[in-house]
Amino acid sequence: MPATTRALPASQDLEEIIISETMIKRRVRKLGQEITAAYGEEEVTVVAIINGALLFTADLLREIRCPIRLDCIRVSSYRNETRAAGKPEIVHSLTIDIANRHVLLIDDILDTGKTLSVVVNLIKKLKPASVKTCVLLDKKGRREVEYAADFVGFDIPDQFVVGYGLDFAERYRNLPCIGVLKPHLQNPPEWA
Ligand code: IMP
Ligand code: MG
């Protein structure tokens, strides 16, 4: 088999692929068109939540035709609910000024809604002209804090998924598709 078509070793750890590479590419292109139409000629300040949004942001930005400024923000999310405060904390904040700018916040997945609400509250304090959010995946059934994203790639059921930026303990981010890990690999379920 030619090296270019060989499966990634990590893909053997998937029980099921729920979103293929082709589906991702098609949807990311459409999302880029939707975002371009929403902002027109306006400059957009993109804020990506890393590490999860890295791959999605890199592909999406190339489908957006508006002028773009880019910054990243790093948030610690404590997946283990037994830990005292399950509130996400900003580990590394913005480095560019967003006052009076149109901010588009990008994350890989909207789950309980805690991460995006914390980041949006921080951004709003910095007096942007507007704030919109875009997520690749939305697990609407898991919401603990009410939150609706402006642009959503795919609605997915309540399953723990990896690939295309999403990790399990920092692994699997490089899978080109999105899938569910085999059950024995999800143990212990420490969602990093
Ligand atoms: P929220 O604060 O509960 O909405 O969670 C958002 C963060 O949790 C995301 O940025 C991901 O890092 C992580 N997360 C939630 N669900 C999953 C999943 O199914 N796979 C991988 N990471 C997830
Ligand atoms: Mg993560």
Q: 3-state SS of the chain: helix, strand, coil percent to 5?
A: 30, 30, 40
Cα 97 to chain center, whole Å? 22
Strand partners, 135: 107, 152
CA of 111 to the centre of ligand 1 (A): 6
Q: What is the pLDDT of residues 77-127, one digit of tens each?
A: 766 444 435 789 999 999 999 999 999 999 999 999 999 999 999 999 999
Cα of 58 from ligand 1 centre, angstroms? 19
* Residue 3: predicted pLDDT: 54
111 part of the active site? yes
The pTM of this model reads: 0.92
Q: In b/e form, how buried is each residue of 135-144, taking b as 16+ CB within 10 angstroms? A: bbbbbeeeee
5 CA from centroid of ligand 1 (Å): 30
Higher pLDDT, residue 76 or 106: 106
Which ligand is closest in space to the CA of residue 162?
Answer: 1
Strand partners, 19: 178
Q: Provide the token pair at 129.
A: 């002209």
Instruction: Count Cα neighbours of 111 within 13 Å in the Cβ-side half-sphere.
Output: 14
- From 13, 107, 108, 111, the catalytic residue: 111
SS3 assignment for 134-165: EEEEECHHHCCCCCCCCEEEEECCCCCEEECC
**Domains observed in the chain:** 27-156 (3.40.50.2020)
Model confidence at 4, in pLDDT bands (50, 70, 90)?
Answer: low
- Per residue in 129-175, pLDDT (tens digit) is 999 999 999 999 999 999 999 999 999 999 999 999 999 999 999 99
